[in-house]
Structure formats: structure tokens, C-alpha cells
Structure 1
Amino acid sequence: MTRVGEFCALNVARLVLSIIILVGVLLGIAIWMFYSSGSGRLVDQHPQSIVPAK
């Protein structure tokens, strides 16, 4: 049985997998927060209202 600090392929695989899962969860939360706050559309104006009236 390997010690905790000892190099082992299983420990490396577990570390890489947990990092991938963590990044995926954080990315999912960030996307969910961005689109759920109502700020998903960056431009809410009509193109006609950008041009000043003559």
C-alpha cells in the first residue's frame, strides 16, 4: 500500500480528475449566474435608437 505523499499513478489520476470536475462545476456556475441574472444580452437597444435624430 502506498503512503500518502508517495508518487502513484492512481493519486495523479485522481488529482487530475478532481481538478477537471472542479473547473467544470465552476464554469457551469459562472455560466448559470451570467444568464440567470438577466444580463445575458449585452446590447438591449434597438439599432435605430443609437443613431441621433436629425
Structure 2
Amino acid sequence: MGYMLDTNICIYLLTQRQPEYQQCILSRLESLTNDVAVYLSSVVVSELSYGVRKSR
């Protein structure tokens, strides 16, 4: 079993804009056991990459 993170969740983790969401997500991820995988789709990676390029 695993979790696939979407772009919004990744942005919450990477920025300080909404720390209450960031802390909630981090708590959930830290509670996962080692046999639970966390995935990013290629679409999410592309969207994050685009956002980084656009912000520069």
C-alpha cells in the first residue's frame, strides 16, 4: 500500500505559506511505517518543476 501525493500537498510541504497544513501533513507522513511507500506522479513532478522555473 502507499500514498500518492498531489501537487498541493507537495507545495504545503515545501513552503511556509500555510504552516498548519504543513504540520498536519508531516505528522501523517511521520506516522507511516517503513512498508508504506509515498509516490509522486510524473505530472506532479512536472508541475513542481514548472512552478520553480516560473518563480525565478
TM-score under structure 2 length normalisation: 0.29
Superposition TM-score, scaled by structure 1 size: 0.30
**Max radius of gyration: which structure?**
1
